Chains A and B, each alone.
Chain A
Amino acid sequence: DIVMTQSPDSLAVSLGERATIDCKSSQSLLYSNNKNYLAWYQQKPGHPPKMLIYWASTRESGVPDRFSGSGSGTDFTLTISSLQAEDVALYYCQQYYSGPYSFGQGTRLEIK
């Protein structure tokens, strides 16, 4: 099974500043079609996760462009370019390269 590890576990960033969350997979998520099988989600208390990014860097429709995903192979990053108050949440990465699909442990993002 593929193990996903996020860092840090929690992060405090000032409003308007950049926030970055890293995700490492135990094996490469890059398939022969040159796509990375990785997604990012945002979860606010009492709500289901909301998909932000898929294929490692494709933003889901309606997601603000301050959210971006990058990386390839085993190392990936979610970047929020200018933190807004509504971005306070838990963030998860998820691999769908092979079953069973698996998630990182989550990163809690707060305002400094």
Chain B
Amino acid sequence: QVQLRESGPGLVKPSETLSLTCTVSGGSINNYYWIWIRQPPGKGLEFIGYVYYTGRTSYNPSLKSRITISIETSKNQFSLKLTSVTAADTAVYYCARLGEDGDGYFPLWGQGAQVTVSS
């Protein structure tokens, strides 16, 4: 079955760029929307943005100025870059997939990657 796995540095310095990659295995990245969501420690879930396999993106306006989400279909991967990070960006970052036909629920999630922003 399709599985998602996040990878990237677990520690990022303030003002630097957070970079994460999600690898899709067991199925194709094509024809789906792929998402990033984060969860600060002890807090709720925040939608970051999504990318369609064509490269079309949509971002949360609260983070839009700092986010880039991209996709590499040949590698079955999509990525998140978040610039100018602060301690408030410390969170578990999840990659996920939208439902069939692009419906906006999330039936498939990665295990999550802990990212800490600290000097």
User: Do A and B actually bind?
Assistant: yes
- Contacts A48-B111, A92-B45, A105-B44; is A99 near B106 (CB within 8 Å)? no
Structural contact, A92 and B44, CB atoms closer than 8 A: yes
CA separation between A92 and B46, bound complex, in Å? Answer: 12
Scan residues 94-112 of chain A and give those whose CB is less than 8 A from a CB of chain B. 94, 96, 99-106
**CB<8 Å pairs between A and B, sample of 13:** A41-B106, A48-B109, A48-B110, A50-B109, A51-B107, A54-B99, A54-B103, A54-B105, A54-B107, A96-B104, A100-B60, A101-B47, A106-B45
Structural contact, A102 and B103, CB atoms closer than 8 A: no
Chain B interface residues (CB < 8 Å from chain A): 44-47, 58-62, 94, 96, 99, 103-107, 109-112
Chain B at the A interface: mostly helix, strand, loop or mixed? loop
Contacts of A103 in B (CB 8 A): 44-47
Chain A interface residues (CB < 8 Å from chain B): 1, 37, 39, 41, 47-51, 54, 60, 92, 94, 96, 99-106
